[in-house]
Amino acid sequence: MIRIAPILAVLGALIALWYVAAVLMNAQLQEDRFANAGRTDYSTADLASASLNMDRPKLPAPHQIVGELWRTVALADPSSKRSLAFHAFITLRETLLGFALGSLLGAALAAAAVHFRWIDRSLMPWIVASQMIPIIALAPMIVVIFNQFDVVGIVPKAAIAAYLTFFPVTVGLVKGFRSPDPLQLDLMRTYCATRGQTFWKLRAPACAPFFFASMKVAAAAALVGSVVAEVTKSEDGGLGARLLAGSYYGQTVQIWAALFAAAFCSAALVGVIGLVDAYVGKRMGYVR
Amino acid sequence: MTRRLDTLLPPSLFGLAALALWQFGVAAFRVPQVILPAPSAIFAKLFASLPTLWLDFLQTMQGVAVGYALGCASGLIVAILIDRSPFLQKGLLPFGNLVSALPIVGVAPIMVMWFGFDWQSKAAVVVVMTFFPMLVNAVAGLKSAGAMERDLMKTYAASYSQTLGKLRLPAALPFVFNALKINATLAMIGAIVAEFFGTPIVGLGFRINTEVGRMNIDMVWATILVAAAVGSAFYGIVALVEREVTFWHASNRQREV
C-alpha cells in the first residue's frame, strides 16, 4: 500500500497537468473555431470544456484517448481495418516472430563466441560497435530489399525486429556465459566435464539473470523496430501505419491512441518476461 | 603497443575480409544495384554527393545537439531536485523505468505536428527520448556515494550543497556518463526516425526515406554510412570525455598499468 501511494500521486499529478496543458494548448484553436462559427457569447468554462472535446485537438485530453481506445479496441470489429486491435495484432505478430528469430540467432552467436576465440576476437568488437550506431536507420532499406525478392507482409518487419533483438541478446548472453567464476569452472574440470557439459550444466544456468535482462531490452527494441518498419511500408497495417495515417490527416486522437496501444504492447511483453524472470529466479534461487 | 595491435588486428582483418567478400560477391553473382550495391559503388556515391550529405548532416545534427543538451540537462536537474524527496523518487522512478520500455519514437508525429517540420520538432523528440535514461541513472548515481564518505562530510559540517558539489555529484559521474553514452545513440535514432514523419527537404532521415522511394540504394547506403560514422564519433567523444573526467573510477584505472 505504501509503495503504491507515491506512484498514484505522481500519476494523478500527471493527469491533472495533462488536462491543464490540453486546455492551454487547445484554447487558441477552439477560440478560432468559435469565431468561425460566429459564436461570441461563450464563457471561459465553455471554452475550457469545448477545448477538451475537440475532434482534432493539438493535445487530446486523456478521456478522449481512452474513448478512442475503447471505440477502436472494444467496439470495432477486430477483423476490420478500423480496429486498433487488428493493427496491434499485426505489430505483435511481427514483433514476436522477429524477437524469436533474433533471440535464437543471438544466443547461437553468443555460445559460439564463448567457445571459439576467433569469433570472439574478430566478430564481437563489430557487434559491440554496432550498438553505437543508429541501426534503425536501416529499417526502410531492409523493407525495400525484401520487396525486391517479393517477400512482403510481416516477414520484412519481423526481420528488422530480429535485427534489433539480436544485438542486446548477443552482448548480454556473452556476458552471462562468462559469469561463472574460475572456481566453478575449475570444479567442472576436476569432474572431467566435457565442454558441452560445462556449457549446459554451468554456463547456461549461470546466464539466466543476464538472459532475462537482455530479453527485456530486446523485446522493447523489437517492438520499436516493427513500428518504425511499418511507417516505411504502411499499406500492410500495424500500429506504425496508424501513426503515419494519423499524422497525414491530422488525427491527433488516433495518433495518441496508437501510441498508447504500442506502449501497452511493449509494457505487456516486458511484463510477461519479467514474470517469467521472477518465477525462474525464485526456482533457481538468484532472486530472493 | 603490441597488445593494442593484438586487440585491433583480428576485427580489422575480419572487417576487410567481409568488405572484400561483399565486393567480389556482388560482382560474381551480378547482384542488381537495387538490392545490394558494391562497397566501391557506395564509396563513390558518398564522395560524389558530399555537399548534399553535409547539408543533411548539419540539419540532423542541429536537432540532435539541441535535443541532447536539453534532454540530458533537464534529466540531471530533475534528478537533483527529486533527490531530496524520497516520495517523489518512489513515484517518478517506476515511470522512468516504464518509459524505457516504451516505443518513445512514436511521439515523433506528434512533435512534428506541434513544432513544425524543421529541426525543432526533432529536438523535441530527442528531449523526450533522452530525459528518462538520464533521470534514472542520475538518481542512482547520486545514491552511490558511500555512507563512510557521507559521514565524513557530516563531520566536516559540510552543507547540503557542499556535499552535493564535492562528494555526491562527482561520485555520480560514472552513472551520468553511462546515461550520456546511451543517450548519444538514442538521440541519433530519435532525430532520424522523426525525419521519416516530415521534414524540410534535407536531413539524414529524409535522405534515407526518399532515396529508398527512388530506389537509389547506393545513396541510401552512403547516408547510412554517414549516420553510422556520426553515431560512432558522437559515442566516441562522450567516451573520451568520460575517461578524462572519471579517471579515478575503477573501470578506467586498470588501463594505466
User: How large is the ipTM?
Assistant: 0.78
pLDDT in tens, B86-102: 888 888 887 877 777 77
Determine the pLDDT at residue A107: 92
The per-residue b/e assignment along A180-196, b for 16 or more CB within 10 angstroms, e otherwise, is beeeeeeebeeeebeee
Determine the pLDDT at residue A83: 82
Number of domains in chain A: 2
pLDDT band of residue B3 (cuts 50, 70, 90) is low
- Position with higher pLDDT, A107 vs A71: A107
Determine the pLDDT at residue B74: 95
Q: Cβ of B11 and A220 within 8 Å?
A: no
- CA-based end-to-end distance of chain A: 21
- Which chain B residues are closer than 8 Å to A218 by Cβ? none
Amino acid present at A273: I
Q: Cβ of B224 and A141 within 8 Å?
A: yes
Q: What percent of chain B has pLDDT over 90?
A: 16
Mutate one of B196, B234, B235 to test the A interface: name it (highest A CB count within 10 A). Answer: B196
pLDDT band of residue B70 (cuts 50, 70, 90) is very high
Q: What's the predicted TM-score (pTM) here?
A: 0.83
A96 and A238 belong to one structural domain: yes
In-domain check, residue A266: yes
Q: Cβ of A150 under 8 Å from any chain B Cβ?
A: no
Q: Find, among A219, A230, A284, the residue nearest to A258 by Cα.
A: A230
- Which chain A residues are closer than 8 Å to B13 by Cβ? 122
Res A45 pLDDT > 90: no
B138, three cell numbers: 542520475
Determine the pLDDT at residue B257: 42
Amino acid present at A68: E
In-domain check, residue A140: yes
Contact in structure between B253 and B72 (CB atoms under 8 Å): no
A150 and A264 belong to one structural domain: yes
Mean pLDDT value of segment B164-170:
89
Q: Cβ of B209 and A132 within 8 Å?
A: no
Residues 17 through 46 of chain A touching chain B, CB cutoff 8 Å:
none
- Which chain A residues are closer than 8 Å to B90 by Cβ? 3, 6-7
What does the domain layout of chain B look like in residue ranges?
A: 48-252
Give B91-152 as a 3 state SS string. HHHHHHHHHHCCCHHHHHHHHHHHHCCCHHHHHHHHHHHHHHHHHHHHHHHHCCCCHHHHHH
A174 and A247 belong to one structural domain: yes
Q: Find, among A261, A260, A245, A177, the residue nearest to A211 by Cα.
A: A177
A24, three cell numbers: 492551454
Determine the pLDDT at residue B127: 93
Determine the pLDDT at residue B22: 87
A91 and A38 belong to one structural domain: no
Mean pLDDT value of segment B104-126:
86
Determine the pLDDT at residue B255: 52
The rounded mean pLDDT for chain A is: 84
A33, three cell numbers: 473555431
Determine the pLDDT at residue B256: 47
In-domain check, residue A69: no
pLDDT in tens, B122-164: 999 999 989 988 998 898 888 888 888 889 999 999 888 888 8
In a 10 Å sphere around its CB, with 0-12 CB exposed, 13-18 middle and 19+ buried, how is residue A178 labelled? middle
- Which chain B residues are closer than 8 Å to A252 by Cβ? 110, 113
Q: How far is B185 from chain A (nearest CA, A)?
A: 6
pLDDT in tens, A116-135: 888 888 888 888 777 777 77
Contact in structure between B198 and B116 (CB atoms under 8 Å): no
Res B252 pLDDT > 70: no
Contact in structure between B188 and B227 (CB atoms under 8 Å): yes
- Position with higher pLDDT, B251 vs B68: B68
Residue A167 sits in a domain of what CATH number? 1.10.3720.10
Q: Find, among A63, A65, A51, A56, the residue nearest to A22 by Cα.
A: A51
Determine the pLDDT at residue A8: 85
Nearest to A140 among B105, B110, B212 (CB): B212
A122 and A224 belong to one structural domain: yes
Determine the pLDDT at residue B123: 92
* Dist CA B257 CA B239 (whole Å): 19
In-domain check, residue A217: yes
Which CATH superfamily does the domain covering B48-252 fall into?
A: MetI-like (1.10.3720.10)
pLDDT in tens, A14-34: 888 888 888 888 888 887 888
pLDDT band of residue A100 (cuts 50, 70, 90) is very high
Q: Cβ of A1 under 8 Å from any chain B Cβ?
A: no
* Dist CA A163 CA B105 (whole Å): 18
In-domain check, residue A74: no
Mean pLDDT value of segment A253-276:
88
CA distances to A11, A34, B54, B141, B193 from A136, rounded to whole Å, are 31, 44, 21, 29, 8
Res A198 pLDDT > 70: yes
Mean pLDDT value of segment A155-171:
87
A20 and A145 belong to one structural domain: no
Q: How far is A60 from chain B (nearest CA, A)?
A: 11
At residue A206, φ and ψ (nearest 5 deg) are -65, -20
* Dist CA A220 CA A223 (whole Å): 5
* Dist CA A197 CA A195 (whole Å): 5
Domain around A14: 4-58
3-state secondary structure of A142: helix
Q: Cβ of A126 and B95 within 8 Å?
A: no
Contact in structure between B248 and B226 (CB atoms under 8 Å): no
In-domain check, residue A102: yes
* Dist CA B104 CA A243 (whole Å): 12
A115 and A249 belong to one structural domain: yes
Res A191 pLDDT > 90: yes
Instruction: Give the residue from chain A lying closest to B17, CA to CA.
Output: A122
pLDDT band of residue B54 (cuts 50, 70, 90) is very high
- Position with higher pLDDT, B29 vs B57: B57
Determine the pLDDT at residue B251: 66
Mean pLDDT value of segment A150-158:
80
pLDDT in tens, A66-98: 888 888 887 777 777 778 888 888 899 999 999
pLDDT in tens, A138-148: 777 787 778 77
